[in-house]
Structure 1
Amino acid sequence: MAKPQVGLQLYTLRDQTEKDFLGTIRKVADMGYKYVEFAGYFNTSPADLNKVLEETGIQAVSAHVGLNFNDPNKMEADLAEQIEYAKAIGLKYLITPWAPLPENPQLEDVDSLASTLEKAARQVKEAGLIYGYHNHDFEFKQVDGTPVIDLLLQKIPADLMIMEFDLGWVHMGGQSPVEYVQRYAGRTPIAHLKDFGVGRRDTEVGSGSVEFDPVFAIAEEAGIEYFIVEQEEFASSSLESAKLSLDYLRGKGY
């Protein structure tokens, strides 16, 4: 098994991408990243995006695509558009980055969400792509003594939905990132590297309180293909933070 490759979730650079999406991808390449995960395309055509990806050598692995929970009648059609775009730029994974749950979820809430995610997963799989879910910390609330995330992963077949564990949010959910990666080994081809400093403020990877070394030690064995850097708050600039995280990972041999 190969060592995981390092990519950047472009939501990290949203202050840049909303001004100059294609130019930001060039900056990401200059920084040294070889892989990216998208969070929107800013009205860019697949042809224009493919041209820049080819020019820079950046490989597009995945995209965060929100489901239309507000209008379930449009969910399938909206997802179909995202699938068409994803196939046009050669993505392998489509990831739902967030899903609604009540403050105090009950089993019927979990069942309803599982049904929705499974429907989306089947649609993505039928199109030849791989569907996944990305957690925050609220999925670690317990229902009948079991974390919601575990219930979801029990209810939805592994061949339909992979898990993109956000290791920072696993930590913030009071759980051990390495234990969750081990528990779902083989079902976690992508892992988000998000670090947290004071309170709920995130920071550059390697400068906060999340323990990544135990995950690095078992990453290949667990089948992780990509580590995706993500950050939302910055001491100076998003570009500087993205570079610092990459430097840290380079120092770890990635």
Structure 2
Amino acid sequence: MAKMNVGLQMYTLREETAIDFVGTLHKVAKIGYEGVEFAGYGGLTAVELKELLEQLKIKAIASHVSLAQLTTHLDEEIDYNLTIGSRYIVCPYVADDDRQTEAQWLAIIQQLQVIGQRCAERGIGFAYHNHDFELLQQVNGVFVLDAMMKEVPEAALLMELDSCWVHHAGQNPQAYIAQYSGRIPLLHLKDMQKLPSGETLTVELGRGEVDLIAIIEASAKAGVEWLIVEQDKCTNPPFESIEESYNWVVKNYK
């Protein structure tokens, strides 16, 4: 089986990129990450970002793009991502007000299909990134995430599985990875810790309760291309956090 690559979701460093986008990418590359998943482009043109990535010798994995932007400016986003060498566009989130009812979810699923079909026509993959609510809410008697995968053809919709959010929802990440084997090119590796107060913290890989080793093993069997490190909030300095998590992956994935 092919070796999975290790990337970083740049949302982890959103405060740093807001100050110095280019310098932040330099630091990510220096740590050793092979690719990055974007959550914004730092005001750079596609050609400028392509040249920067070539200089740093890191790949554009994918881009998280809001559902609103995908609905109104899809071809612009596709053009940008094809230029920088990204193979995937990802819908990262559905706003709370837009997902209160089954009818709203059914409309969103239809939207995803339209977006995914256009992406397929243009030669780029389209994926959906889950949180926990897609595994807490249901449509037609099944979890929303499963409804998406059932209703939209694989050619139009892939999955970017956030394994930590699956765990947080009380489901088994390894089981989901196996169930959708071949349909999960991108997987978010994230760890979490529950505090006595009931609050949940995202932590550096290996410091929490998520069975990351089992998730990595399941991912390798399921054809995952990229293991993407993400930490929603860093209690330690973020560059230290992403370096610690990168080193953990290198040590534990062989």
Q: Which of 130, 134, 139 is the equivalent residue of 1:135? A: 130
Q: Which runs of 4 or more aligned residues in structure 1 lie more than 2 Å from their structure 2 counterparts after TM superposition?
A: 74-77, 100-110, 142-145
Unpaired segments ≥5 residues, structure 1: 69-73
What is the match of residue 215 of structure 1? Answer: 215
How many pairs are equivalent? 249
Matches within 5 A, 1:107-118: 107-118=102-113
Letter in 1 for 2:79: E
Matches within 5 A, 1:10-21: 10-21=10-21
CA RMSD of aligned residues (A): 1.7
What is the match of residue 3 of structure 1? Answer: 3
Q: What is the DSSP-based 3-state SS (H/G/I as helix, E as strand, rest coil) of the residue aligned with 2:19?
A: coil
Letter in 1 for 2:191: D
Q: CA deviation at 1:203?
A: 0.9
Q: CA deviation at 1:200?
A: 2.2
Kindly indicate whether the alpha-carbon contact (under 8 Å) linking 2:189 and 2:230 is maintained by their aligned counterparts in 1: yes
Structure 1, residues 188-210: CA drift from partner, whole Å, max 9, x if none?
01100111112322111121111
Q: Are 1:96 and 2:91 counterparts?
A: yes
Q: What is the DSSP-based 3-state SS (H/G/I as helix, E as strand, rest coil) of the residue aligned with 2:145?
A: helix
Q: Are 1:166 and 2:162 counterparts?
A: yes
Provide the C-alpha distance between the structure 2 equivalents of 1:104 and 1:126, rounded to a whole number of angstroms. Answer: 28
Matches within 5 A, 1:219-238: 219-238=219-238
Q: CA deviation at 1:104?
A: 7.8
Q: CA deviation at 1:101?
A: 5.3
Distance 1:115 1:106, change over 3 A: same
Kindly indicate whether the alpha-carbon contact (under 8 Å) linking 1:3 and 1:219 is maintained by their aligned counterparts in 2: no
Distance 1:182 1:170, change over 3 A: same
Q: What is the DSSP-based 3-state SS (H/G/I as helix, E as strand, rest coil) of the residue aligned with 1:18?
A: helix
Provide the C-alpha distance between the structure 1 equivalents of 2:27 and 2:100, rounded to a whole number of angstroms. Answer: 42
Using the size of structure 1 for normalisation, the TM-score is 0.93
Kindly indicate whether the alpha-carbon contact (under 8 Å) linking 1:66 and 1:96 is maintained by their aligned counterparts in 2: yes
Q: Which of 188, 193, 197 is the equivalent residue of 1:197? A: 193
Q: Are 1:55 and 2:55 counterparts?
A: yes
Distance 1:104 1:220, change over 3 A: closer
Q: Are 1:188 and 2:184 counterparts?
A: yes
Provide the C-alpha distance between the structure 1 equivalents of 2:210 and 2:144, rounded to a whole number of angstroms. Answer: 21
Provide the C-alpha distance between the structure 1 equivalents of 2:174 and 2:253, rounded to a whole number of angstroms. Answer: 19
